[in-house]
Amino acid sequence: MINKTLAPPTERVIEEERLTPARGTLWRRLRKSPSAMLGLGIVLVFMGVGLLADWIAPYDPLRPDFGRAREGPSWDSPLGRDELGRDILSRIIHGARISLWIGFIAVAIGVVLGVPLGAISGYYGRLDIFVQRVVDIMLAFPGLLLAIVLISILGVGLSNVMVAVGVASIPTYARLVRGSVLSLREMDYVAAAKALGMSDGRIIFRHILPNCLAPIIVQSTLQVATAILFAAGLGYLGLGAKPPMPEWGVMLSTGRDYLRDWPHIATFPGLAIMLSVLGFNLLGDGLRDVLDPRLRGKL
């Protein structure tokens, strides 16, 4: 009896330590993973380029120069010129800003709407059944398809892409948070909080959600990559950003017409999409390993 009553608290202390490692530990452990560091490097470069686009882009990304249309890479234009003679490097640099925006806004929408939904669903058993059926329906559609459906309702345009991609990620967040909340709400400290007469809101937002932070951070990093990919896909299909906006998917789509004779027009935007998605994915994987080993293989 004595053993049984004493043992669980010890375990719990260890478990809680593992869930929220100290900041120093996090960084130290992340540094040990070369792939995560590579991902972080790519993400930092990508963010730096996006933020400083106006200063570092050598040319105006929208200004055509018909005399130089479809010109290959040169010292003057390291990635060459596109079908209207615009500098591809400058367009990719400005495209980084657009992709960054899409990624962060979409993730913010997903987090802001998905997390509370999941928390409420997990905490209140009675609502769970309804919320989770809605989530099931949304999860039944592949994410990109759901985004296309939303675009067809909202209309074509960049801001609608952010909304669509964000909304398409809500069910993922809702499901993820619900799972964590389901286990956390059975914890003794929650019972203690209830016994002290705390309101449900305070319990959810002050005591349960902070403990779900790790999977949310991991998911959000990976979700940025998904959002960039979806936005490029929508742009490629003509449902996202519109010409002449230097969005990578749009650049890929117009470059496709010239693929056989002037492959550089489509190749470089394609590489930009690939690299940025790779960066966020590597970083997300690394963070998951560090923050929440239990999630390995689940996301």
Partner 1 sequence: MHRYFLLGAVLVAAFLIPVTDTGGQQQVKIGGKLVVAQGTDAESVDPINFSASPTASIMEHIIQTLVRLDVEDRGGQLETTPKGVLAESWSVSPDGRVWTFNLRRGIKFHDGTDLDASVVKLSLERALHPDCAAPFRSAVLGRLAYSPASATTGTVADKNAIVWRANLLLGPEGNNVSVAIASGASLGVSVSGSAITVTAPAGTTAAAVIRAVNENAAANKLVWASNAPGSDGSGAVAPVTATRLSGFATSVEAPDANTVRITLASPFAPLLQHLAHTAATIVSAKRVREAIAAAPPCGKGLQDKVEGTGPFMLKEWRRGERMVLVKNPNYWERDAAGRQLPYLDEIEWRVIPDDAARMIELERGTVHIAVRVPPLDVPRLQRDPNIVLDFTTSVRTIYIGMNVRDRIPDTPTGAANPLADRRVRQALNYCVDKEAIVRTIMGGQARVSDAPIVPQVFGYAKVGPYPFDPARAAALLREAGVTLPLRLKMHHPRGRYVRDVQVAQAVQAMLGTCRIEVELIPMEFVSFLALINKAPSEAEHQLYLLGWGTITLDADYGLYSLFHSSQWPPGPFNRGYYKNDRVDALLQQGREEANPDRRKAIYAEAQRLIWEDAPWIFSHSESQITGIRRNVKGADVHVTERLILWQTWMD
Task: Pick the closer one to partner 1 by CB: 65 or 128.
Answer: 65
The binder of partner 1 chosen from 20, 35, 254, 267 (CB under 8 A): 254
* Cα separation, 141 vs 178, whole angstroms: 20
Least separation in angstroms between CB 66 and partner 1: 4
Task: Pick the closer one to partner 1 by CB: 69 or 213.
Answer: 69
The contact pattern for partner 1, residues 67-106, with x = CB under 8 A and - = no contact, is x-x-------------xxxx--------------------
Q: Which of residues 7-66 bind partner 1 (CB under 8 A)?
A: 62-64, 66
Q: Does 263 bind partner 1 (CB under 8 A)?
A: no
The binder of partner 1 chosen from 34, 76, 257, 274 (CB under 8 A): 257
Q: Does 244 bind partner 1 (CB under 8 A)?
A: yes
Q: Does 260 bind partner 1 (CB under 8 A)?
A: yes
Cβ atoms 221, 151 nearer than 8 A: no
* Cα separation, 75 vs 72, whole angstroms: 10
Q: Which residues bind partner 1 (CB under 8 A)?
A: 62-64, 66-67, 69, 83-86, 238, 242-244, 254, 256-261
